[in-house]
Structure 1
Amino acid sequence: MNYWLVKSEPVKYSWDKFNKDGRTFWDGVRNFQARNNLRDMKEGDLVLFYHSNEGKAVVGVAKVVKEHYQDPTTEDPNWLVVDLAPIETLKTPVTLEQIKKDERLQNIGLVKQGRLSVMSLKPEEFDRIVELGSNVS
C-alpha cells in the first residue's frame, strides 16, 4: 500500500462536498510531477485530503477506488485522473502550522514542496498526521 496527500481549495471542492458526493474523479492536475503521482496511485491506496489556501489543514482520509485514466475534462492525453472515495473525517483538522512544528514531519512534501497538489507520503508520515487528527482538542 502507498500513501498520498491531495490538495483542494475548499471553495472549489471541499471535504464536505466530497463526502456528499461519496466519490469523485481527481481532475485539474496540470503539473507533471503531480500527474506522475496520480499515475502511481493504486486501488486501495490511502489519501489524506488537505484544504489549501483557506483552512490549510488535513481534514480527512480517502482511498483510491479506481486507478488512473484519461482526464475527462481535457482532450490532452498528458493529463490523468483517479477516482477517490472518502473514508473518514479527522476528529481535529491537522493544520499546516502543526505539521511544520512536528519533528517527525519536517521532510514531508507539504513542507518541502508546498505548491505540489498531489504528493506521496511515507507510511510513518501518514500515520503521524492521522494520529494528530485523532486527538480531540
Structure 2
Amino acid sequence: MPPKKRPRVGKRSESSGKSDDAVGPSAAGRKRKAAAGDGCESAGVPVYSHWLMKSEPESRFENGVDVKFGIEDLKALPDQTSCWDGVRNYQARNFMRQMKEGQLAFFYHSNCKEPGVAGLMKIAKEAYVDHTQFDKKDVHYDVSSKPDNPKWSMVDVRFQRMMKRFVPLSELKKHHLQHRADGGPLKDVALFTRARLSVQPLTSEEFDFILSLEVKEPH
C-alpha cells in the first residue's frame, strides 16, 4: 500500500465552481484520468479524445495531509497506476466523465517552481464514483454529496513515459501568444483560455503540437 498522498484542489475555488491550478491523484493505490474533445460534437457537446491533467509535484499540506503528487509518484506506484481523485469542479468532473479507456493525457506539474508538461499517461479506467467525497477524514470530503446521489467522479490513469524534454509553461505561453496572432494550433488552448481548470481538453492538433515540442529546441 503506497503512502497516502492526496490530490489538491483549493476549497474556495471548488465551492465557486472554479477548480484551482492544483489537482492531482492520491498515491494511495488510486487511479484517475480525464478526457476532452477534438472539436467533434455529439448532441451539441464537443467530444474530445486528448487531455491535460494538473497535479502538484511539490509538498503542500492540507489538514495535515501532504497533497503532493508528481509524475514520479505515479511512476513509482504498483502497475504505475493511480486514481485521479479529489476533483471538485463541475466542468473538470464533466471532462473526466467524457474520458475513454486508452486515451492519452499530459501529466502537467502545477503550483510549483516551474510548471509545465512532465510526461504522458493513459486513461486506464473510465469515470466512476470518487469515494473521497464520503470520507470525513479526507481533505476532499463533501458533506453535501450523498452515496445515493454522488456528485464527484474520478478516473484511473497509468504512467506511459516522461517527456523527452520537460516543456515549461513559459514556453507554451510564447507559442500561445504567437498562435493567437498567426492562427496556430495553440491559439485557443484551454491552458490559457480556461487556465484555472485542473482537467482540460485538448484537440488532436493541440496535443500533437505540444508533443512535438519535446524534440525541438526551446522556443
Q: 1:16 aligns with which of 69, 72, 77?
A: 72
Structure 1: distance between partners of 2:164 and 2:71: 13
1:73 aligns with 132
C-alpha deviation, 1:135, in angstroms: 3.4
User: What value does the CA root-mean-square deviation take over the aligned residues?
Assistant: 1.4
Q: 1:109 aligns with which of 175, 180, 190?
A: 190
Structure 1 residues not aligned, in runs of 5+: none
Structure 2: distance between partners of 1:107 and 1:15: 26
Which is bigger in relative contact order (C-alpha 8 A, separation at least 6)? Answer: 1
2:23 aligns with none
More strand by share: 1
Structure 2 residues not aligned, in runs of 5+: 1-47, 59-67, 135-144, 180-184
Residues 78, 129 of structure 1: CA spacing in aligned structure 2 closer, same or farther, 3 A cutoff?
Answer: same
Structure 2: distance between partners of 1:107 and 1:97: 16
Percent identity reads 42
Structure 2: distance between partners of 1:100 and 1:69: 33
What SS class does the counterpart of residue 88 from structure 1 fall into? Answer: strand
Q: 1:45 aligns with which of 103, 106, 117?
A: 103
User: Does residue 85 in structure 1 map to residue 158 in structure 2?
Assistant: yes
State the AA in 2 paired with 1:40. Answer: Q
C-alpha deviation, 1:69, in angstroms: 0.4
What SS class does the counterpart of residue 115 from structure 1 fall into? Answer: coil
TM-score (normalised: structure 1): 0.94
Contact 1:91-1:136 within 8 A present in 2 as well: no
Moved over 2 A (4+): 134-137
Contact 1:49-1:58 within 8 A present in 2 as well: yes
Structure 1: distance between partners of 2:190 and 2:166: 18
**How many residue pairs end up in the alignment?**
137
Structure number with larger C-alpha Rg: 2
State the AA in 2 paired with 1:10. Answer: P
C-alpha deviation, 1:136, in angstroms: 6.5
